[in-house]
């Protein structure tokens, strides 16, 4: 179905929502998962094509190891193939479900292997291609809607003070509690909580126009 | 802890930064149905979900998709299930169920009476609120488990239906193959009958010629009759193509003499300058020989030595210019079934 391009303004930037968003990871149609539930191989293949780059990048970021990330991704997709019927559209978007599943499984692995202390942590969040040299190979996330969302997330993160970025990253990608983060950063207990709260609050405000636009389009 | 204190922890809950006790407290509060906190949680979880879009993207290995697609067999899935025997922190489809606090196994530690008394007092003081929260938590956990079992049953039913469909399709295909085999066997029997009948007619004709004092014609039919009585003679039926559906043929092979016998019925008369050519089709077509069918000739016997009969996969008869061709060029009139 043809959709009219609607300009969206946030943080002084203008975003465009266009028809290409239908092919994006950020806008996977819930009916695709319905077809996976029915055992349609093409739908499962399509779901992989749309989401695997994002999920693999997330797994690599959490585990810090490409081979283990590939192993994890295989486990996640097989679980999706087997348990896609459990996806409930009223609880969130398909990509949110896939991200939650991948992050949860990756952090389980991280805790199991107990090598968290050996990994390098406390670095700033990875910046999207827009802020760095572009990826050498095009990925499915090159879809217009994904690029827009990536740029938006990049801008929102770049607008945070580094200490807030760092605290959010240690919680989200390393699975650390605020108390563990305080110990790791050698900060007094009670300093990390407000950093995360403030950082998340700013991110929410920065991203709010995107969700409002998406809900109306 | 006040409502404001709880509300302040929602961003930390969404990003996974709370300690277990804090997490349980906010989960209990959310279970009470606080609308503003539910709304705030939805917003902050939406923030958490898009954070990976801020990562520098890395494409997965090229072979990973093929590995995953191939691993969806039931054996692989069972293995995966076994490997996941350790309870993960979140089940797919239950990604909001983590609002329900996990059951904490009780620890039996040595205690003094006054500790026990104090604990009892706390329990009593907790009163209805604690009981009600625990009840809700248990009901929610049971509901989640029930949903999980129902999902597994639905998936098993779906897989069973798929397998049943596949079995039905294979049964149908097998029945069709059997019917085809029976039909071809009947064709062969019919052609053999026709051959025997022609053989008898030929014998009568030879006898009549002999009675008229003419020199008997030497024909290979005696040899053919002997061949037909040979139990291990190889017989292949040929059917007419779109060019002439009423035509048919029987190809016999005598492994002792290494001769191929082609008996044809109802082949049209060869036009001037044209002849029929018999082909054995293996890796490439090999000519066995040419023969001519004249006017009003309803049947024809064609004999030719041919050593590579058994290696051929199919046989055909095409119409070619006189003398034949190294490769088939003209229309095919007869074709074996396999």
DSSP annotation string for B256-309: TTTEEEEEEESPPPPPTTEEEEEEEESSSEEEEEEE---TT--EEEEEEE-S-G
Q: Is residue A135 part of a domain?
A: no
SS3 content of chain B, % helix, strand, coil (to 5): 50, 15, 30
**Interface residue of B95, B149, B156, B157 to substitute, partner A, most A CBs within 10 Å:** B95
Same domain membership, residue A184 and residue A113: no
Tokens of B328: 């088939």
Chain B stretch 87-116, residues whose beta carbon is closer than 8 A to a beta carbon of chain A: 88-96
Given an 8 Å threshold on Cβ–Cβ distance, is A86 in contact with B49? no
DSSP B162: H
pTM of the full predicted structure?
Answer: 0.50
Instruction: Quote the minimal CA–CA distance from B90 to chain A in Å.
Output: 6
Q: Is residue A6 part of a domain?
A: no
Q: Is B4 part of the contact surface with chain A (CB cutoff 8 Å)?
A: no
Same domain membership, residue A211 and residue A152: yes
Same domain membership, residue A113 and residue A43: yes
Same domain membership, residue A150 and residue A103: no
Residue A166's CATH number: 1.10.10.10
A157 within 8 A of B54, measured Cβ to Cβ: yes
Chain B stretch 160-179, residues whose beta carbon is closer than 8 A to a beta carbon of chain A: 162
Q: Is A171 part of the contact surface with chain B (CB cutoff 8 Å)?
A: yes
Same domain membership, residue A148 and residue A114: no
Q: How far apart are CA B274 and CA B260, in angstroms?
A: 22
Q: Which residues contact A209 (CB under 8 A, 6 or more apart)?
A: A8, A9, A10
Given an 8 Å threshold on Cβ–Cβ distance, is A66 in contact with B58? yes
Q: Is residue A169 part of a domain?
A: yes
Q: Is residue A130 part of a domain?
A: no
Residue A48: list chain B partners with CB under 8 A.
65, 68
Same domain membership, residue A114 and residue A161: no
Q: How far apart are CA A185 and CA A167, in angstroms?
A: 9
Chain A stretch 115-134, residues whose beta carbon is closer than 8 A to a beta carbon of chain B: 125-129, 132
Same domain membership, residue A41 and residue A100: yes
- Cβ neighbours, 10 Å, residue A116: 16
**Segments making up each domain of chain B, as ranges:** 221-336
ipTM of model: 0.80
**Interface residue of B16, B47, B75, B153 to substitute, partner A, most A CBs within 10 Å:** B47
3-state class (DSSP) for residue A150: helix
Q: Which residue of A has its CA nearest to B81?
A: A79
Q: How far apart are CA A74 and CA B198, in angstroms?
A: 70
Burial class (CB in 10 A: 0-12, 13-18, 19+), A88: middle
Q: Is A99 part of the contact surface with chain B (CB cutoff 8 Å)?
A: yes
- Residue whose C-alpha is closest to residue B46's, from A18, A91, A155: A91
Question: How many structural domains comprise chain A?
Answer: 2
Same domain membership, residue A98 and residue A34: yes
The CATH T-level fold of domain B221-336 is Immunoglobulin-like (2.60.40)
- From the list A58, A175, A203, the residue facing B52 with the nearest CB is A58
The per-residue pLDDT string of chain B (338 residues; one tens digit each, 9 = 90 and over) reads 788 888 889 999 999 999 888 888 888 888 888 888 988 998 899 899 999 999 988 899 988 988 888 887 654 455 455 555 444 444 433 444 443 333 333 334 444 454 454 554 555 555 555 555 555 567 677 777 787 888 888 888 888 888 888 888 888 888 888 888 888 888 888 787 777 777 777 777 777 777 776 655 555 556 667 777 776 778 888 999 988 888 888 888 888 888 888 888 889 999 999 999 999 988 889 999 999 888 877 777 878 888 888 888 899 999 999 999 999 999 999 999 76
**Interface residue of B10, B26, B53 to substitute, partner A, most A CBs within 10 Å:** B53
The count of CB pairs under 8 A between chains A and B is 213
Domain residue limits at A59: 25-118
Residue A61's CATH number: 1.10.1740.10
């Amino acid at each position: 179905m043809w959709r009219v391009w609607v300009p969206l303004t946030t943080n002084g930037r203008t975003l465009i929502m266009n028809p290409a968003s239908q092919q994006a990871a950020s806008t996977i149609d819930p009916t695709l998962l319905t077809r996976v539930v029915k055992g349609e191989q093409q739908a499962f293949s399509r779901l992989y094509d749309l989401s695997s780059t994002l999920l693999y990048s997330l797994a690599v970021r959490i585990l810090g190891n490409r081979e283990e990330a590939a192993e994890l991704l295989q486990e996640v997709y097989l679980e999706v193939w087997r348990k896609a019927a459990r996806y409930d559209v009223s609880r969130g978007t398909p990509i949110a479900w896939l991200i939650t599943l991948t992050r949860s499984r990756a952090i389980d692995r991280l805790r199991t292997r107990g090598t968290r202390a050996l990994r390098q942590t406390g670095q700033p969040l990875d910046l999207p291609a827009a802020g760095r040299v572009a990826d050498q190979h095009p990925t499915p996330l090159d879809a217009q809607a994904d690029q827009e969302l990536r740029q938006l997330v990049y801008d929102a993160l770049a607008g945070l003070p580094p200490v807030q970025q760092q605290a959010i990253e240690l919680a989200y990608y390393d699975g650390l509690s605020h108390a563990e983060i305080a110990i790791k950063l050698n900060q007094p207990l009670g300093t990390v909580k407000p950093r995360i709260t403030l950082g998340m609050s700013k991110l929410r405000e920065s991203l709010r126009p995107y969700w409002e636009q998406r809900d109306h389009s | 802890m006040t409502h404001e204190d709880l509300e302040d922890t929602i961003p930390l809950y969404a990003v996974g930064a709370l300690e277990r006790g804090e997490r349980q407290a906010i989960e209990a509060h959310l279970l009470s149905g606080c609308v503003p906190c539910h709304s705030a949680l939805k917003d902050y979880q939406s923030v958490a979900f898009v954070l990976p879009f801020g990562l520098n993207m890395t494409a997965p290995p090229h072979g990973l998709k093929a590995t995953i697609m191939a691993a969806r067999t039931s054996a692989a899935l069972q293995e995966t299930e076994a490997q996941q025997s350790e309870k993960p922190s979140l089940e797919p489809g239950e990604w909001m169920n983590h609002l329900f606090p996990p059951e904490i196994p009780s620890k039996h530690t040595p205690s003094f009476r006054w500790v026990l008394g104090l604990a009892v007092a706390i329990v009593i003081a907790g009163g209805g609120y604690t009981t009600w929260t625990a009840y809700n938590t248990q009901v929610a956990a049971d509901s989640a488990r029930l949903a999980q079992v129902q999902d597994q049953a639905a998936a098993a039913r779906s897989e069973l239906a798929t397998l049943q469909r596949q079995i039905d399709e294979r049964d149908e295909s097998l029945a069709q193959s059997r019917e085809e085999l029976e039909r071809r066997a009947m064709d062969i029997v019919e052609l053999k009958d026709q051959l025997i009948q022609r053989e008898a007619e030929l014998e009568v004709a030879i006898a009549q010629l002999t009675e008229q004092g003419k020199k008997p014609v030497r024909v290979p039919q005696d040899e053919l009759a002997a061949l037909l009585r040979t139990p291990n003679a190889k017989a292949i039926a040929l059917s007419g193509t779109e060019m002439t559906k009423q035509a048919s043929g029987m190809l016999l092979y005598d492994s002792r003499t290494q001769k191929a016998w082609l008996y044809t019925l109802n082949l049209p008369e060869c036009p001037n300058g044209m002849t029929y050519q018999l082909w054995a089709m293996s890796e490439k077509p090999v000519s066995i020989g040419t023969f001519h069918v004249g006017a009003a000739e309803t049947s024809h016997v064609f004999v030719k030595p041919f050593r590579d009969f058994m290696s051929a996969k199919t046989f055909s008869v095409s119409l070619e210019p006189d003398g034949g061709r190294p490769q088939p060029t003209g229309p095919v009139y007869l074709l074996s079934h396999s």
